[in-house]
Amino acid sequence: MYITINGQNIELAENTTLLDIIKKQDIKTTLYAVELNMKIIPKDKFEETVLNDKDRIEIVHFVGGG
């Protein structure tokens, strides 16, 4: 199956979860949000959210400043 993450197409095995994807992204902060097909997914739902062919994921990192 193929999905898109932040505009990049990748191939995944069936039954891959959103949590599997997050672990592979090497995110170095706890301040991020994940959108799956234009819907924000709460972090407590990552493990149970199984991805489907042609899903679109956007991972947004928050940056502080002032």
For residue 32, give the CATH number of its domain.
Answer: 3.10.20.30
Mean pLDDT of 46-53: 96
In a domain, 66, yes or no: no
Q: How confident is the model at residue 29 (pLDDT cuts 50, 70, 90)?
A: confident
- pTM, entire model: 0.85
Residue 43's domain comprises 2-61
**How many Cβ atoms are within 10 Å of 25's Cβ, its own excluded?**
14
* Total tally of structural domains belonging to the chain: 1
Over 90: is that where the pLDDT of 26 sits?
no
In a domain, 28, yes or no: yes
Bridge partners, residue 36, by sequence:
39, 57
Over 70: is that where the pLDDT of 65 sits?
no
